[in-house]
Structure 1
Amino acid sequence: MPLFLPVWRHFFPFKTGRWISCLLLATPLALSAQSLPGVSGTVASPAGPPVEFATVTLHRAADSVVVKTEFSDQKGTFRLEALGGRRYLVSVSQVGFQRYWSAPFNLTTDGITLPAIVLATSQATALKEVTVTARKPLFEHQAGRTVVNVADSPLSGGATTLDVLGRSPGVTLDAGNNLGLRGRQGLLLVVDGKRVPLTGEELASYLRALPAEQVQSVELLTNPPAQYDAQGGAGVIAIYLKKDQRLGTNGNANASYGRGEYGKFTAGLGLNHRRKNVNYYGNYTYVNRRDYARQEFDRQYAAQGGLPAVSGTIAGKRVLDLESHSARFGADINLTKASLLGLSLTSLLSQTNSVNTSQTEFNDAGGALASRNSSTTHQDIWRPSGSANLNFRHAFADSAAAATLTADADFARYNTTRTLALSTLYQHPLAASNLLTGDQLSELKIAALKVDFSQPLPRRARLDMGAKTTMVNSANNVVFLNNGAYNPSVSTNFNYSEQVRAAYANLRSAAAKTTFQVGLRIEQARIQTELAGERLREQNYLQFFPSASVQRTLNAQNTLALTASRRIDRPNYGQLNPLRSYFDATSYRSGNPDLVAQTSYNFDFTYTFRQKFSAALSYAQTDKPIVAVVQPAPDGGRQVVNRDVNLTTQDYYALTLTAPLEPVKWWTLYANGVFYYSRFRGNLAGTALDRQQPACILTANNTFNLPRGWSGELNGTFQSGEIWGFERAQPRGQLLLGLQRSFWAKQATLRLNVADVLYTAPIRSTSVYDSFTESFRLRQDTRVATAAFTYRFGSSKVAAARKRAAGADDELRRAGGS
Structure 2
Amino acid sequence: MKKLQTSLVLLLLLCTSIMFSQSKAKVSGQVIEQDTKQPLEFATVTIQTTDNQTVSGGLTDINGKYSIDVPPGTYNIKFDFISFKSTAIKSKAITGNTNLGVTLMAPDATLLNEIEIVADRSTVDIKLDKRVYNVGKDMIVRGGSVSDVLDNVPSISVDPDGNVSLRGNDGVTILIDGRPSNLAGSNVAEVLRLLPAESVEKVEVITNPSARYDAEGGGGIVNIILRKGKANGFNGSVVASTGYPDNHGLNANLNYRSDNYNLFSNLGYSYRSSPGNFSTDSEYFDEEGNTTNFVNERRDYERERQGYNASFGADIFLNKTTTWTNSINVRDNDGENPTETYYDYFFADGSFDETRYRYNLEEEESDNIQFSSSLLKKFNDEGHKLDVNLSLAKSNDYEKAQIDDIVIGTTTPEVDNIFQRTLSDEEEDRALAQVDYVLPFGEGSQFEAGYRGSFLELTTDAQTETLENDIWIIDPNFSSLLEYKENVNAFYAQYGSKIGKFSYLLGLRWEDSDIEVNLLDREDFNTKKYNNFFPSAFLSYEFSEGTNASISYSRRINRPRGWFINPFSSLVSNINIFTGNPDLDPSMTDAMEVGFLKKWNKVTLSSTAYVNITKDVYQFVRRESGEFFTQVVGGEDIVNDNNEVIEVIDGEDVRTPIILTSPVNLAKQYRYGFEFDVNYNPYRWWRINGNFNFFKNQIDGDYTYTNFLGETIVQNFDNSNYSWFTRVNSRVSLPLDINWQLNARYTGPRENAQSRYKGIFSADTAISKDILNERATISLNVRDILNSRKRKLTNTLPQVESYTEMQWRERQITLSFTYRFNPSKADKNQEQRGNQQGDGGDFMGK
Taking structure 2 as the reference length, the TM-score comes to 0.83
Q: For 1:167 and 1:458, how far apart are their aligned partners in 2? A: 41
Match of 1:327 in 2: 310
Q: Secondary structure of the residue that 1:82 maps to in structure 2?
A: strand
State the partner residue of 1:585: 574
Structure 1 residues 426 and 681 mapped into 2: Cα distance closer, same or farther (>3 Å)?
Answer: farther
Partner of 1:621: 613
**Contact 2:181 2:393 (C-alpha < 8 Å) held by counterparts:** no
Contact 1:502–1:523 (CA under 8 A) maintained in structure 2: yes
Determine whether 1:481 maps to 2:465. Answer: yes
Cα 1:807–1:609 shift into 2, 3 Å? closer
Task: Give structure 2 stretches of 5+ with no counterpart.
Answer: 1-17, 630-656, 704-712
The one of 205, 229, 240 aligned to 1:255: 240
Tell me the SS of whatever aligns to 1:745. Answer: coil
2:249 to 232, 243, 266: 266
The corresponding residue for 2:716 is 688
* SS of residue in 1 equivalent to 2:189: helix
Tell me if the contact between 1:84 and 1:107 (Cα under 8 Å) persists in the aligned partners. no
CA distance, structure 2, for counterparts of residue 695 and residue 727 of structure 1: 14
Identity between Structure 1 and Structure 2 (%): 21
| Paired letter, 2:550 | A
Contact 1:342 1:807 in 2 (8 A): no
Query: Once the 2 structures are TM-superposed, how far is the Cα of residue 665 of structure 1 from its aligned partner?
Result: 3.0
Q: Distance in 2 between matches of 1:87 and 1:734?
A: 52
Distance 1:43 1:143 in 2: 22
Q: 2:79 aligns with which of 60, 72, 90?
A: 90
Matching residue of 1:528: 516
Inter-partner Cα distance in structure 2 for 1:333 and 1:703:
39
Instruction: Summarize the alignment of residues 779-790 of structure 1 with structure 2, pairs less than 5 Å apart.
Output: 779-790=807-818
1:441 and 2:425 are equivalent in the alignment: yes
Matches of 1:775 and 1:44, distance apart in 2: 60
CA offsets 1:278-298 (integer angstroms, 9 cap, x no match): 111222111111121111012
Task: Work out the CA distance in 1 between the residues paired with 2:25 and 2:223.
Answer: 32
Q: What is the one-letter code of the residue matched to 2:680?
A: L
Matches within 5 A, 1:22-33: none
Q: Distance in 2 between matches of 1:422 and 1:523?
A: 44
Say whether 1:149 aligns with 2:134. yes
Is residue 545 of structure 1 aligned with residue 529 of structure 2?
Answer: no
1:547 and 1:565 in contact (8 A); partners too: yes
1:201 deviation in Å?
Answer: 8.3
The equivalent residue for 1:7 is none
Relative to structure 1, the CA distance from residue 339 to residue 433 in structure 2 (aligned partners, 3 Å threshold; closer, same or farther) is same
Map 1:564-643 → 2, pairs under 5 A: 564-610=553-599, 612-633=604-625, 635-637=627-629, 638-643=657-662
Matched, 1:559 2:548: yes
1:199 and 1:41 map into 2 onto residues whose CA distance is 41
Equivalent position amino acid for 2:44 in 1: L
CA distance in 1, matches of 2:216, 2:32: 45
What is the deviation of 1:737? Answer: 1.4
From the superposition, tell whether residues 79 and 436 of structure 1 become closer, same or farther in structure 2 (CA, over 3 Å).
closer
TM superposition shift of 1:463: 0.9
In 2, Cα distance between equivalents of 1:118 and 1:529: 57
Please state how far the C-alpha of 1:786 moved relative to its aligned partner: 1.8
SS at match of 1:185: coil
Superposed CA offset, 1:111-151 (max 9, x none): 6788998989978799xxx9998436111211121111111
- The answer on whether the counterparts of 2:674 and 2:694 sit within 8 Å (CA) in structure 1 is yes
CA gap of 1:552–1:33, structure 2 versus 1, over 3 A, is farther
Q: Which moved more, 1:406-415 or 1:361-370?
A: 361-370
Structure 1: runs of 5 or more not aligned: 1-28, 73-77
- Is the counterpart of residue 461 in structure 1 residue 426 in structure 2? no
**Partner residue, 1:100:** 86
The alpha carbon displacement at 1:751 in A equals 2.1
Deviation at 1:203, TM superposition (A): 1.2
Q: Give the counterpart letter for 2:425 in structure 1.
A: L
User: 1:646 — aligned with what?
Assistant: 665
List aligned pairs for 1:138-217, cutoff 5 A: 138-196=123-181, 198=183, 202-217=187-202
Q: Say if 2:300 and 2:340, in contact at 8 Å, map to a contact too.
A: yes
**Match of residue 798 from structure 1:** 827
Mapped partners of 1:198, 1:156: distance in 2: 22
Matching residue of 1:432: 416
Match of 1:659 among 656, 678, 695: 678
- The CA distance in 2 between the partners of 1:107 and 1:598, in whole Å, is 57
SS in 2 for 1:223: coil
Q: Kindly name which structure, 1 or 2, has the bigger radius of gyration based on alpha carbons.
A: 2
- Aligned to 1:378, what secondary structure does the other structure show? strand
Rounded Cα–Cα distance in structure 1 between residues aligned with 2:273 and 2:32: 56
Aligned residues of 2:160 and 2:790 also touching (Cα < 8 A): no
**Match of 2:492, as an amino acid?**
Y
Is the Cα–Cα contact under 8 Å of residues 193 and 808 in structure 1 kept in the other structure? no
Deviations 1:15-49 (A, max 9, x none): xxxxxxxxxxxxxx99x99997225599999xxxx
User: Contact between 2:128 and 2:597, CA under 8 Å: does it hold in 1?
Assistant: no
After superposition, the CA RMSD in angstroms is 3.7
Q: CA deviation at 1:428?
A: 9.4
**What is the CA-CA distance between 1:585 and the residue it aligns to?**
3.4
Query: Is residue 316–residue 357 contact of structure 1 (8 Å, CA) maintained in 2?
Result: yes
- Greater mean deviation of Cα atoms: 271-280 or 745-754: 745-754
Taking the aligned partners of 1:455 and 1:651, their CA distance within structure 2 comes to: 38
Q: Distance in 2 between matches of 1:359 and 1:435?
A: 16
- Cα 1:254/1:79, change in 2 over 3 Å: closer
Deviations 1:694-723 (A, max 9, x none): 111101111222212222222111110112
Which residue in 2 is equivalent to 1:418?
399
SS state at 1:99 partner: coil
Q: CA deviation at 1:391?
A: 0.7
Q: Does structure 2 conserve the Cα–Cα contact (< 8 Å) formed by 1:752 and 1:786?
A: yes
Relative to structure 1, the CA distance from residue 692 to residue 411 in structure 2 (aligned partners, 3 Å threshold; closer, same or farther) is same
Q: Is the 8 A contact 1:218 1:237 kept in 2?
A: yes
Residue 230 of structure 2 aligns to a residue whose secondary structure is coil
Are 2:388 and 1:407 equivalent residues in the alignment? yes
Task: Name the SS for the 1:752 alignment partner.
Answer: strand
Q: Is the 8 A contact 2:694 2:723 kept in 1?
A: yes
CA deviations over 1:741-778 (Å, ceiling 9, x no partner): 32323221222222112222111112223333332101
Partner Cα separation in structure 2 for residue 630 and residue 318 of structure 1: 23
Deviates more, 1:561-570 or 1:772-781: 772-781
When structure 1 is superposed on structure 2, of 313-322 and 782-791 the one drifting more is: 782-791
Report if the CA contact (8 A) 2:44-2:81 is conserved. Answer: no
Q: Distance in 1 between matches of 2:434 and 2:399?
A: 34
The answer for the alignment partner of 2:732 in structure 1 is 704
* SS state at 1:233 partner: coil
Q: Which residue of 2 aligns with 1:747?
A: 775
TM superposition shift of 1:328 = 0.6
Secondary structure of the structure 1 residue equivalent to 2:275 = strand
User: Which SS does the other structure have where 2:237 is aligned?
Assistant: strand
Q: Is the 8 A contact 2:160 2:809 kept in 1?
A: no
Rounded Cα–Cα distance in structure 2 between residues aligned with 1:678 and 1:720: 13
* CA deviation vs aligned residue, 1:531-554 (integer Å, no higher than 9, x gap): 134243111111111111101223
Structure 1 letter corresponding to 2:612: A
Cα pair 1:233 1:599 within 8 Å, conserved: yes
- Report the equivalent of 1:501: 489
Per the alignment, residue 9 of structure 2 pairs with none
2:681 maps to amino acid:
E
Amino acid at match of 1:798: D
Aligned with 2:260 (options 255, 270, 277): 277
Distance 1:105 1:222, change over 3 A: farther
Say if 1:123 and 1:709 are closer, same or farther in 2 by CA, change over 3 A: closer
- In 2, the alpha carbon distance for the partners of 1:116 and 1:188 equals 38
- Whether the aligned pair in 1 keeps the contact of 2:205 and 2:221 (CA below 8 Å) is yes
